[in-house]
Structure 1
Amino acid sequence: MSQYNGVPGGPTGFGKKKRKKKVLTVLAVIIVLLAAAAIFGYTYIKDALGPADAGNKKDVTVDIPIGSSVSTIGKILEKNNLITSSLVFQVYAKTKENGNLQAGVYDLNPSMNMDQLIAALKNGKVYRHPETSFTIPEGFIVPQIAEVIAKNTGKSKEEVMKTINDPAFVKELQKQFPVIDNKVYNKKIYYPLEGYLFPAKYEFDEKQPDVKAVITKMVQKTQRVMDGHQEEVKKSGKKPYEILTLSSMIEEEAQRPEDRPKISGVFYNRLKKGMKLDSDPTVKYARKSFKVQVLYNELKVDSPYNTYKYKGLPIGPVASPGEEAIIAALNPEQTTYYFFYARPNGQVIYTKTYNEHKRIVQKYRHEWQERAGKS
């Protein structure tokens, strides 16, 4: 028999106490972790239900498309910094059974808590029926945009252009929207706000909105879009102004969405090699001539916009790029192509060498000549 048999404090009793202590320790740790998780979860949900920014009462125009799910609406609100968690919004909104969320255009602000936002979206409290609505197409240049603004503000195109080009007004805008680069003040720049008047649909409560208010809203849209791609801009190693400039070229060169990242890839390849970009839209912009075909003698125009004459990006944007073109400029497709040729039918042919490109040009050049003859 063991000398410890039945003796208190022997190995058997000590082992049981040790195991019991371990179990209690594990339980204590679990309880602490659960308590911490509960506190964190409570704090997270409480914060999510409150205002995204209690001190910010500046309205944000939000468009809720017809047929949007609660999940989609939550993502739209989160993207516009009106809520901090689309997931909490989705769950919380579904607990509110008194009415559905309505589609429409709303003016909301970050100081509204989740209950106020849901109430507004349910009863149309801040739903707006705009008096004025117009769309700026992708690829428009400043004079074209000025025409659209003029038609919807009761002002002449000349008056609108004067406002757009007013250095004092541009400086006011720059204070609000840092996306505007100091390079816009270069005397060789045709229009300081080229590339900053974002192509989109705009709505206003007034029948003839103030010109400055219209322009401000357009630049604000550009700022928001670029802010949404901040990380990509940093990774690109380029400044926002350079991205907008490159995007404007892609916007003008690509006739089909799938070609934007490919054309972007070609431009990046040429930039890395120190090759001139040889982009026709930059010649058209340099000459302020937007006819169908660029002639050989026009390629020699001495302008910092002309990428046939000068290496690198042009001095500034040559059109108003949409978000898809901006995304393409930030995410170029990795290719081994250095040339591309766009046919009138929208097809873009990519080649690796100049000789290949030259053969393609000779083969299809007549198509553009015929099209120019018909126009």
Structure 2
Amino acid sequence: MLFLCALGVSSVSYSYPGVFPQSVFKNLDCGLYWFGNNDSYEKAIPGQSNSYYGSSKPTIIYIHGWQNGTSQNQNRETFNRSDSGGPDVDLAYAWRQAGYNVGILYWNQFADEGEVKDAEAKVWSQNGPQSMRWRDHNGSYHTGPGKSAGQLMFESLRDNMANYTGSRLILAGHSLGNQMAIVVAKKLKDGISAGNANSKLKPKRVALLDPFYSNGSKSYLNDQWTGAKARTYVDQLKSWGVIFEAYRSSSVSNTFLVGDENKGLLNKTAFLELKPWYFQSWQQGEKHGAAVWHYLWSFDFSVPGIKSSSDLGLSAKTSDSRVQTLMNGNQRLIHDLGAYTKSPGDDRHKYGGRL
């Protein structure tokens, strides 16, 4: 078996939308991929040019969450979400048209666990319940590297963007991927402070998309909850100047027996309560995924207004200064109009109290 997370290998570009060769599931393959039109992509390799990356461009990087069963299905998340109830559009198109690099940090083979807590542990530590095992295309597990997935994703981003000169880096993490986005941002902070990471890699914004945290203390975190650890990191990152926004679209994050709603974290962010009422109440999986494509797609539309106010609401298109004002304020936003249509283009928000 090959470990392709950090080794230099020849980069290959594929033009088939969302199609990955069996080799990326047969062997361990993780880290940063850059995307072009219609889900064409090219793996980022340190020191090699990439068709879909420009070192001076603003950049958004998406990070997925739990991936149970995807290795056997040979499936990876991309920027077309029509297979999970989303719109049949390239969600990265508007970003690229605005001059952005668009990438995905893949840790899917580590996140392919039957128990979500086993995948969660790998974000933080190599010493969790299943260590760093990874899953192949046959569903078999293999011993993984002696580094956490959080460390591997940080190193992939750091090494592949060592020459970055752009003015804007956004990290957007879905579900468990919101924990990964926070961990990677913290590692970037520490790396920059230590002088071993490019200072241009300080994230401007971190978007937490229907974030998930499990209940309970974790031995690999000295008996802290992951939610509590994340709040500590977010406080440090906010003090460093990072702007946080959060979007909740389902009840997945606050299922009593599994999920920690983590209200304390959400109240530290510019927070929007989405209402994807075009799905039925029992379609929580689809609602959970809606936060991803709602956020990414919102960059293609004007910023929503707020009921009975001249203020602007929250979306990927909202200015940094406005998001920061919302983050530091004492109110959350609630989806008011546009809840029955998938397009963010007809949305309106209203103010509500903090959780």
Same fold (TM over 0.5): no
> Which structure features the higher share of strand residues?
2
TM-score, L = length of structure 2: 0.26
TM-score, L = length of structure 1: 0.25
> Which structure features the higher share of helix residues?
1
Structure showing greater radius of gyration is: 1
